[in-house]
């Protein structure tokens, strides 16, 4: 599952590196919504709050299911999340088999609008072209 966190017409995204041929997280860079898997005994809502805290340091205040979206790993449920005030900070992946960081950055990405100018278009996944500036 993934969290849609919106502030000032921007959505929070996490930069990650995929697994490279070396077996380390030195592959393709991409931007994605914060989120992850559901742990044993967790509800999807509890899991998305936990994942957002782990990845961004933000505290979820309310969670509402909004839609399913295709990801490379399959369909993912997206939840609109309001968070407590504060700035995000990059977390650390707990339990990775390697010592390399998978998450490498956070960014507030501007939202697009539909043709009427009032519906937010949330990008669930953005692939990098190599430039991260």
pLDDT string in tens for the chain (133-residue length): 999 999 998 899 998 876 667 766 666 788 889 998 899 999 999 999 999 999 999 999 999 999 998 877 788 999 999 999 999 999 877 666 666 667 889 999 888 776 776 666 676 666 554 544 4
The pLDDT assigned to 30 comes to: 82
State the Cα–Cα distance between residues 32 and 79, nearest whole angstrom: 14
Dihedral sign, CA of 34, 36, 40, 44? positive
Closest CA relative to residue 16, chosen from 107, 82, 88: 107
pTM: 0.81
């Amino acid at each position: 599952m993934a969290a849609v966190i919106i502030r000032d017409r921007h959505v929070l995204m996490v930069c990650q590196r995929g697994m490279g041929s070396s077996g380390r997280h030195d592959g393709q860079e991409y931007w994605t919504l914060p989120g992850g898997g559901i742990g044993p005994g967790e509800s999807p809502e509890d899991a998305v709050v936990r994942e957002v805290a782990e990845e961004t340091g933000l505290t979820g205040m309310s969670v509402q299911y909004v839609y399913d979206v295709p990801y490379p790993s399959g369909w993912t449920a997206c939840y609109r999340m309001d968070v407590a005030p504060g700035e995000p900070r990059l977390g650390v992946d707990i339990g990775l088999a390697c010592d390399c960081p998978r998450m490498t950055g956070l960014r507030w990405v501007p939202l697009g609008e539909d043709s009427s100018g009032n519906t937010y278009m949330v990008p669930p996944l953005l692939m990098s072209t190599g430039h991260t500036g």
